[in-house]
């Protein structure tokens, strides 16, 4: 029988919990910090933790005494949030956890807060290997399990989703937290257009927040701006979640993070999964917002796997990325890609029906989770863009399909049938190098692919001497014209993130990819790629 005490305090919520493995019961006591005005101030949050952590811990210990007996006999370990989070808050929680473990004479377990959001969803749902969308105040990312770690398949490139919403609500004078207020006002609003920024499986909220502020300043009703903000931000998160499902081949999605309490976001994700035949699970609200229950649950799994930490090695890590955590508590290499269908393939955006050996019919499906006006605009724009940039890349000597016909209102394209497999299913160094050269040629001509994942690279048919060595770029729908080195580096970032989340020997492959890119492209792009990598939400 295993019981673990968990302590949480990464930013705003002081929380303690006890998890009983045998009964699956989780008792949580929490005391949230609510600033009088503005957002969370690190010093004030730390002062709250200093006062509240001892109180919530003692409340939980009292329950342990009543239900199970003396804590030193009833508890097997103490788990705590090691990061990511605000340094002053984490240090208070870490100190409390070390003192508890010492007084109880039990092992200490250091838990990654964001992995705990994923694992509580996996635990409560019973899913085997889901993709997880984490949508919280300071973070927003999509995780998938591969080869002993959770890989970041996509993430925000500027601010967390909750913080983005809070910046808007502070601008209009609303108190923290802003998310529930936006949700309430959006119910009475009409959709207004705001920037929609998805780059492969990465995304950006800064421009949306700025546009929403400006819209209110220009006199657009605040209810309408709230509706546009929800429809845009949550559609972006749902789209990248679907891309992650398509890339990994899994049919399970879990939601984590406090923003996951929003009914519109949960509804979008549920609709998307239902339409593609996937299972979706959102934990109850107490496990979505910051809480010690998820820390205790993951802490118990880590304890039973022998994954504890010595007190002198238990320093907190404010920038603790989830992909830095060795996953010791579960087996398996991750989900496997599904076997391809010779007649029909459903990707994240479109259905492709094959008419080999000559042509394919591609149709961008209407997405009922998106607002109809937004969906129609995206489908038309992406269909036109794909036709134009596919043809332009081909003129540069980059292998792409021939475009035979295009119908933007219907989201349809008639294309040459190329390749025999996705690069995802046939990764080799020579093919990776070819992708690097192809992207460099596109960038030299002034445009980006926009979504260069291994699903959007096709390799020649085995046995076809003329085509076997060819590597084709497909699906330029998220591409655009630009002369910005940052945009070119983002193209590389998208590709490398997707390969890193699906390949066993990613480091060697990506080194070859960058080397090949540099032989054709601008060396400043790879330099900018390093800068982008350092911008991740946990760096």
Q: How would you label 119-150 residue by residue, b for 16+ Cβ within 10 Å and e otherwise?
A: bbbbbbbebebbbbbbbbbbbbbbbbbbeebb
Is residue 355 located within the same domain as residue 499?
Answer: yes
- d(C-alpha 472, C-alpha 393), whole Å: 10
Does residue 61 lie in a domain region?
Answer: yes
Does residue 484 lie in a domain region?
Answer: yes
17: Cβ contacts below 8 Å, ≥ 6 apart: 5, 6, 8, 26, 27, 28, 29, 60, 291, 292, 293, 295, 296
Q: Strand, helix or coil at 450?
A: coil
Does residue 311 lie in a domain region?
Answer: yes
H or E element, residue 142: strand 140-146
pLDDT on residue 444: 97
Does residue 329 lie in a domain region?
Answer: no
Is residue 293 located within the same domain as residue 400?
Answer: no
Q: Give pLDDT < 50 ranges for the chain.
A: 336, 339, 537-539
- d(C-alpha 255, C-alpha 368), whole Å: 19
Does residue 335 lie in a domain region?
Answer: no
CA 459 vs. chain centroid, Å, equals 28
Maximum alpha-carbon separation in the chain: 76
- d(C-alpha 262, C-alpha 253), whole Å: 16
If you compute the radius of gyration of the chain from its CA atoms, what whole number of angstroms results? 24
Looking up residue 440, the CATH number of its domain turns out to be 1.10.510.10
Is residue 275 located within the same domain as residue 299?
Answer: no
Is residue 444 located within the same domain as residue 357?
Answer: yes
- d(C-alpha 519, C-alpha 515), whole Å: 7
Does residue 334 lie in a domain region?
Answer: no
Retrieve residue 223's tokens.
Answer: 């209810």
Does residue 330 lie in a domain region?
Answer: no
- d(C-alpha 112, C-alpha 101), whole Å: 18
Partners of residue 281 on adjacent β-strands: 254
Taking alpha carbons only, the member of 468, 471, 461, 493 closest to residue 393 is 471
Q: Is 534 exposed, middle or buried (0-12, 13-18, 19+ CB in 10 A)?
A: exposed
8 Å CB contact between 216 and 222? yes
DSSP 290-359: S-HHHHHHHHHHHHHTT--B-GGG----TT--GGGS---S--S-BPPPPPPPSSEEE-SSEEEEEETTTE
Is residue 401 located within the same domain as residue 513?
Answer: yes
Domains identified in the chain, total number? 3
Is residue 250 located within the same domain as residue 292?
Answer: no
Is residue 131 located within the same domain as residue 115?
Answer: no
8 Å CB contact between 15 and 290? yes
Is residue 379 located within the same domain as residue 303?
Answer: no
pLDDT on residue 271: 98
8 Å CB contact between 350 and 446? no
Residue range of the domain that includes 441? 344-533
Q: How would you label 341-371 residue by residue, b for 16+ Cβ within 10 Å and e otherwise?
A: eeeebebbbbebebeeeebbbbbbbebebbb
- d(C-alpha 179, C-alpha 160), whole Å: 12
Q: Strand, helix or coil at 144?
A: strand
Does residue 538 lie in a domain region?
Answer: no
The 3-state secondary structure of 87-121 reads: HHHHHHHHHHHHHHHHHHCCCEEEEEHHHHHHHHH
Is residue 293 located within the same domain as residue 278?
Answer: no
> Phi and psi of 449, rounded to 5°?
-70, -45
The 3-state secondary structure of 31-53 reads: EECCCCCCCCCHHHHHHHHHHHH
8 Å CB contact between 295 and 93? no
Count CB neighbours of 507 within 10 A.
Answer: 10
| CA 107-111-113 angle, 5° bins | 155
Using CA atoms, how far residue 133 sits from 98, 156, 280, 284, 411, in Å, is 31, 12, 11, 15, 27
Partners of residue 155 on adjacent β-strands: 141
| CA 469-470-474 angle, 5° bins | 150
- Residues classed as catalytic: 451
Looking up residue 25, the CATH number of its domain turns out to be 3.30.420.40
pLDDT on residue 339: 47
Taking alpha carbons only, the member of 259, 269, 241, 254 closest to residue 182 is 259
Is residue 521 located within the same domain as residue 415?
Answer: yes
Is residue 251 located within the same domain as residue 186?
Answer: yes
Q: Strand, helix or coil at 85?
A: coil
> Phi and psi of 275, rounded to 5°?
-70, -25
pLDDT on residue 39: 65
Q: What is the DSSP letter of 365?
A: P
Is residue 440 located within the same domain as residue 512?
Answer: yes
């Amino acid at each position: 029988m295993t019981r673990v005490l968990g302590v949480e305090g990464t930013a705003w919520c002081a929380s303690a919990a006890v998890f009983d493995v045998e009964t699956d019961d989780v008792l949580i006591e929490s005391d949230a910090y609510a600033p009088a005005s503005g957002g969370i101030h690190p010093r004030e949050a730390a002062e709250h933790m200093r006062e509240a952590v001892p109180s919530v811990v003692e409340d939980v210990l009292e329950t342990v005494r009543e239900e199970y007996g003396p804590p030193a006999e009833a508890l097997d370990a103490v788990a705590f949030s090691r990061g990511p989070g605000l340094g002053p808050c984490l240090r208070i929680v870490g100190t409390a956890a070390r003192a508890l473990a010492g007084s109880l004479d039990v092992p200490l377990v250091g838990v990654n807060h964001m992995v705990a959001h994923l694992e509580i969803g996996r635990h409560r749902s019973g899913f085997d290997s889901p993709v997880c969308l984490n949508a919280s105040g300071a973070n927003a990312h999509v995780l998938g399990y591969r080869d002993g770690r959770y890989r970041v398949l996509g993430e925000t490139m500027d601010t967390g989703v909750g913080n983005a919403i809070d910046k808007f609500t502070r601008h209009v004078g609303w108190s923290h937290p802003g998310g529930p207020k936006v949700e309430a006002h959006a119910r009475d609003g009409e959709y207004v257009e705001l920037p929609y920024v998805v780059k492969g499986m990465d995304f950006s909220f800064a421009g949306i927040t700025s546009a929403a502020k400006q819209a209110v300043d220009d006199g657009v009703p605040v209810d309408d701006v709230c509706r546009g903000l929800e429809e845009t931000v949550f559609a972006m998160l749902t789209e990248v979640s679907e891309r992650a499902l398509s890339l990994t081949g899994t049919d399970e999605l879990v939601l984590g993070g406090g923003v996951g309490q929003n009914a519109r976001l949960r509804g979008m994700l549920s609709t998307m999964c239902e339409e593609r035949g996937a299972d979706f699970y959102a934990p109850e609200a107490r496990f979505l917002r910051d809480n010690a229950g998820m820390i205790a649950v993951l802490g118990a799994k880590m304890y039973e796997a022998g994954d504890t930490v010595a007190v002198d090695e238990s320093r907190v890590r404010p920038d603790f990325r989830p992909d830095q955590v060795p996953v010791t508590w579960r087996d398996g290499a991750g989900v496997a890609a599904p076997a391809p269908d010779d007649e029909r393939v459903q990707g994240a955006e479109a259905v492709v029906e094959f008419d080999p050996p000559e042509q394919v019919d591609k149709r961008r499906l209407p997405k009922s989770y998106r607002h109809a006006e937004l969906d129609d605009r995206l489908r038309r724009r992406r269909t036109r863009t794909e036709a134009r940039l596919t043809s332009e890349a081909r003129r540069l000597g980059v292998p792409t399909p021939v475009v035979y016909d295009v119908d933007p209102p219907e989201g349809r394209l008639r294309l040459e049938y190329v390749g025999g497999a996705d690069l995802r299913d046939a990764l080799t160094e020579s093919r990776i190098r070819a992708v690097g050269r192809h992207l460099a040629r596109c960038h030299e001509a002034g445009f980006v692919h926009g979504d260069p994942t291994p699903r959007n690279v096709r390799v020649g048919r085995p046995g076809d001497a003329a085509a076997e060595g060819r590597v084709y770029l497909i699906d330029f729908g998220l591409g655009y014209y630009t002369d910005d080195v940052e945009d070119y580096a983002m193209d590389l970032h998208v590709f490398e993130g997707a390969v890193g989340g699906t390949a066993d020997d990613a480091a060697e492959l990506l080194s070859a990819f960058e080397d090949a890119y540099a032989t054709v492209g601008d060396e400043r792009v790879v330099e900018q790629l390093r800068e982008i990598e350092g911008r991740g939400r946990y760096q």
